[in-house]
Structure 1
């Protein structure tokens, strides 16, 4: 089993991502599939790899979410689980262990929230939200770089989006407030509150370290 630092990090990234969705034997089978067929392939092969996991009930309808998690961890390898493979090739189950509690940058925390919004909303509802938010964005008092990044995020489709920009807590609070206003107008205040609660529940499951900070903006 390779002890090359690059390969070790790749194993940790894939295992950490898979452990957010799979447990026990399903996790081991998925990891062994990656290890056997994809460990030496470039990052774009992750799409094919996740496609081969489609028969897992735990991943039903979540292919986009799995790919996004793999790509995000590949680009920002923070809070990874330990290398699951012992020197003699045995798999150690770290899936129940909590990732290291590293503080995250504000833009990464906000990215988790944006992903949560896109994930919990049905696709047609998210399209309504993003179109109405983009109309409001032009008049918002934000620094131009942040505004451009928000426009790029909401204009883009696909799982490879990354929100990376210097921003401040007051700016993020204004953005979250505007998103909430748009939700209230589109869906009503009761459903808007339910959407935010669903976002928090998703974050508690997949990015628990960010929940306390996200709650400051809600």
Structure 2
């Protein structure tokens, strides 16, 4: 997803809760600190707005709306890009007129299986995107109950079949256990990205969007740290996260 579309999504939703200079400063914060981050770090952005009552009083509602719109953005529903207004110090107190058409404690419930689930895949035999999907998902699963994992896997499997993802993508979630395996057939990047998106949506339904955001962001950070300095894998992870 392009930065301008993400910016328009954030602006469209936040403008229902705050306005004027307050909105402008929040959008400047988004642009400077969060615009290049993963779509799964929306909750951190809202947490950084802890001094904005209009956001904090409606945080869960705002996060839910952001998640839904990021996952299925319809440009016709978005307000025009506010970038010029954000960059103008003049008329900051006025309404937007386009010139052109973590306060929550981080989940940390490591299980004995976590170390097994997060082991690096054999990169010589497995495509980077296959390994990364499996590792991110398994890192997330290591902090969930088995019933929650099965609920999420069932959702992902159903969504993958409905959207006609390639057989290898479907196969990753067909196993009855509480993990996923990196299949050997290389996944299409778009299919790999959709698997992460479906996992996120399923997680939102199973434990709520706030907790899902925290857990998936943590999983992404941990996998990213493991591949720091490994350019092919780091670049592939950025692709999968829509960065």
Task: Classify the TM-score, shorter chain.
Answer: 0.3 to 0.5
TM-score by length of 2: 0.43
TM-score by length of 1: 0.47
